[in-house]
Structure 1
Amino acid sequence: MLTIDQATYDAIVAHAKRDHPDEACGIVAGPEGSDRPVRFIEMVNAAGSPTFYEFDSTDLFQLYKDMDERDEEPVVVYHSHTATEAYPSRTDIGLASEPNAHYVLVSTREHGNNEGPVEFRSYSIVDGVVTEEDVTITPTEQEEST
């Protein structure tokens, strides 16, 4: 199960809508071994494509150095699908290299970058096996204190 706070959920959805019709991508890092997505990192889709995403290799290398220095790991790896459902493609499955990460897909096919709901789903992808996970959205800390 993926547990994610409302602010992070909103940031992922906003990024997906903003980059539509191209696929958006990014990572949410968290403390190593915690399974807590804490630090939202919006990445640039180096492919600039509506049907494929690719992290810029230099940016990705720098991000992994930064996460290593902070004792973090990628808890969520997300990207959007602009014309298909929020389910991993064969390419997505082949590129899934973080066995402990939650792979989040956001489909913007219905409303694009306009107002309206998106399809937001999470998966575990290990050794080519895709397992859908429940997603629980929790209030952000600021919301809880009011």
Structure 2
Amino acid sequence: MLRLAEDVHAEVVAHALAGLPNEACGLLAGPVCDDRVTRFFPVRNAAESSQIYRLDDAEFLQVERTADAENLALVAVMHSHTHTSAYPSPTDVRDATAFDPFGALQYVIVSLKDPEPALRCYRILDGVITEVAVTVEG
């Protein structure tokens, strides 16, 4: 289960909308050894594309430093789908396998294809997609 603080959920959805027409991306972090997400770090989509995302390398390193300094663990990678459902595409699966071969991270996808954004979460390991339940906590 992925537990999102209410303000983090709002930040993630707002970042996805602000990224239009391109996909938006970012990183989520929380206390070490905990499934709570307490921080969202927006990261520039270096691909500048409406169909793919690539976390900006320099911003990614800065987020890692900040998370370490705050004793937080990176929990998930977030990106938006501008015209498709909140389900990993073949490209998402390929990229997750290359970026996170041990399946340590979760992948949050915000779909913007409908008027109401939809947020879902997955684990991707060895090409296998497993949905993770998401709760938003006030």
Question: What is the TM-score of this pair, normalised by structure 1?
Answer: 0.84
Alignment correspondent of 2:109? 105
**Per the alignment, in what secondary structure is the counterpart of residue 137 of structure 1?**
strand
Alignment correspondent of 2:121? 122
**Per the alignment, in what secondary structure is the counterpart of residue 78 of structure 1?**
strand
| Unaligned segments of structure 2, at least 5 residues | none
**Per the alignment, in what secondary structure is the counterpart of residue 3 of structure 2?**
strand
Asked whether the equivalents of residues 20 and 108 of structure 1 are also in contact (C-alpha less than 8 Å), the reply is no
| 1:4-28 Cα shifts (integer Å, max 9, x gaps) | 1211111111111111110000011
Alignment correspondent of 1:58? 58
**Per the alignment, in what secondary structure is the counterpart of residue 83 of structure 1?**
coil
Asked whether the equivalents of residues 37 and 75 of structure 2 are also in contact (C-alpha less than 8 Å), the reply is yes
Q: How many residues of Structure 1 are paired with residues of Structure 2 in the alignment? A: 134
Percent of pairs identical after alignment?
40
RMSD: 1.5
| 1:104-126 Cα shifts (integer Å, max 9, x gaps) | 10011123xxxxx1121111112
| 1:18-49 Cα shifts (integer Å, max 9, x gaps) | 11110000011112222221111011101110
Alignment correspondent of 1:142? none
Larger-gyration structure (1/2): 1
The one-letter code of the counterpart of 1:20 is L
